[in-house]
Amino acid sequence: MTLRPRTQRGYILFEAVVAMALLSIGVVGIQRAMQQAIVTRGQARDYTQARFLLEGVMSWVELQPHLYPGKNSGRFKGDRSRFAWEWDITKIDLPEPEIPPDVPPEQRRRFQLRARYLAKIKVTVSWTRRGGKYQESLETLWSPEKLFIPEEEQPL
């Protein structure tokens, strides 16, 4: 009696279809992960570029001899035309500190304010990417000597 090897017919096609389905699912998953990585890299690049642009605009504003309260805005040129800038300079009044009653008169001078207000500078850079709107802001305070206040608004 001779034994003949058993052949399994029909399973090869089924195994190939299952293998192709698993491979397709894996390829689609890898493609989506790569697509998300590219989008995330682009967003990170935009935030980095926006931060440099913010610091550049803030530096330009701070280098001005006098700051004038108000707003100004514009758009960057060239390859940065997706980015827009805006700055807002405001006067912030400082409240008078309450001096405790038990402080001796000779030490009361330490509690008195040297300035009654400060200049607040807020710079915002905004841009669009793939239909989404993004923005990054930077704020700082400056001494009152730098802020130009018209004479009718100055405290006596």
49-76 tens-digit pLDDT: 999 999 999 999 989 888 889 999 999 9
* Mean pLDDT score of the chain: 85
Domain count, the chain: 1
Report yes or no on 100 lying in a domain: no
Say yes or no to pLDDT of 6 above 80.
no
Residue 112 pLDDT > 80 = no
pLDDT of residue 93 exceeding 80, the answer is: yes
Lowest mean per-residue pLDDT among 7-21, 29-43, 52-66, 68-82: 7-21
Within-domain flag for 61: yes
Residue 50, domain member (yes or no): yes
Residue 66 neighbours by CB under 8 Å, 6+ apart: 146, 147, 148
Distance CA 33, CA 37 (A): 6
| Whether 53 contacts 127, CB under 8 Å | no
Q: How far is CA 36 from the centre of its chain?
A: 20
Q: Please report the pLDDT score of residue 60 as a whole number.
A: 92
Confidence band (pLDDT; 50, 70, 90) for 156? very low
| Residue 37's CATH number | 3.30.1300.30
pLDDT score of 77: 94
What's the CA angle centered on 113, arms 112 and 119, to 5 degrees? 175
Establish if 4 belongs to a structural domain: no
- Going through 31-116 in order, the beta strands assigned E by DSSP cover 70-75, 84-93
Residue 68 lies in a domain: yes
Question: Residue 139: which pLDDT band, with cuts at 50, 70 and 90?
Answer: very high
Q: Is residue 101 part of a domain?
A: no
The domain of 125 spans: 11-95+109-153
